[in-house]
Amino acid sequence: MHISHASWQATARAKVADIHSRIPQEWVLSDTDLEKAKKQRTLTGPYIEQYLDDREKEIIGQDSVRLVEKLKSQEYTAVTVTRAYCKTAAIAQQINNCLHEVMFDFASQIASDLDQFVAENGTVKGPLHGLPISLKDQFHVKGYNTTMGYVGWIGTYEGSKDPAKVHQVNSQVVQELLSLGAVLFCKVKVLSRLFEGVQ
């Protein structure tokens, strides 16, 4: 299949616009903030934390074991943790263009359902209850693209336009993570080393 230069560029631009449109307005950085970021050598730690409140900084500063413990003890809710991670990812995306899929609405719904599960059952759903997980863009999540960075895979299933598969498949690892109570909130770029040796 031949894709013209103009059409692939338009597809790529539309995808970038779609990603940006999924960032809540309250998390959109100003032009001044974006210009300042271009001059920074280190974008993590204190730099990105300046956009977070104290509770959000506390949450994203926890390692995964401690975070799951605090979710289990109900010190944190899944919604609160998910919001902190989504906000941090939204800021990182604007500064560094690191996301292929923004799944904040999906994540928020999962988190809300998990909090409801705790309210109704008095216990967590599974060992990863409420733990935010970002995926490399090589795993399928229903409702979202999996492109591995290929513009030609946008809106397809690994290049196929079969409607039974496009945006209709969860990878096995995705099914497992969801069943264990994880919250999937974004898909990030795959490493270029993944393509080493490809002819």
pLDDT tens digit sequence for 58-104: 999 999 999 999 999 999 999 999 999 999 999 999 999 999 999 99
Rounded CA separation 55/60 (Å): 9
For position 191, what pLDDT does the model report?
Answer: 74
Q: What is the mean pLDDT of residues 113-128?
A: 97
DSSP for 68-118 reads HHHHHTTSS-HHHHHHHHHHHHHHHHHHH--EEEE-HHHHHHHHHHHHHHH
In this model, does residue 194 exceed pLDDT 90?
Answer: no
Instruction: State the amino acid at position 113 in one-letter form.
Output: D
Distances (CA, A) of 97 to 89, 102, 105: 10, 11, 19
The number of angstroms, rounded, from the C-alpha of 18 to the middle of its chain's C-alpha atoms is 14
In this model, does residue 6 exceed pLDDT 70?
Answer: no
In this model, does residue 5 exceed pLDDT 80?
Answer: no
Which of left, alpha, beta for 130 (phi over 0: left; psi -120 to 50: alpha)? left
Run of H or E including 181: none
In this model, does residue 8 exceed pLDDT 50?
Answer: yes
Q: What is the mean pLDDT of residues 133-161?
A: 95
Rounded CA separation 79/82 (Å): 5
Q: What is the mean pLDDT of residues 168-193?
A: 93
Residue with the bigger pLDDT between 183 and 194: it is 183
For position 190, what pLDDT does the model report?
Answer: 87
Q: What is the mean pLDDT of residues 127-136?
A: 98
Rounded CA separation 97/70 (Å): 31
In this model, does residue 106 exceed pLDDT 60?
Answer: yes
- Answer yes or no: are the C-beta atoms of 133 and 183 closer than 8 Å: yes
pTM recorded for the entire structure:
0.92
For position 159, what pLDDT does the model report?
Answer: 93
Q: Which two tokens stand for residue 20?
A: 């940006």
| pLDDT band, very low/low/confident/very high, at 115 (cuts 50, 70, 90) | very high
Average pLDDT, the chain: 93
pLDDT in tens, 17-51: 999 999 999 999 999 999 999 999 898 899 999 99
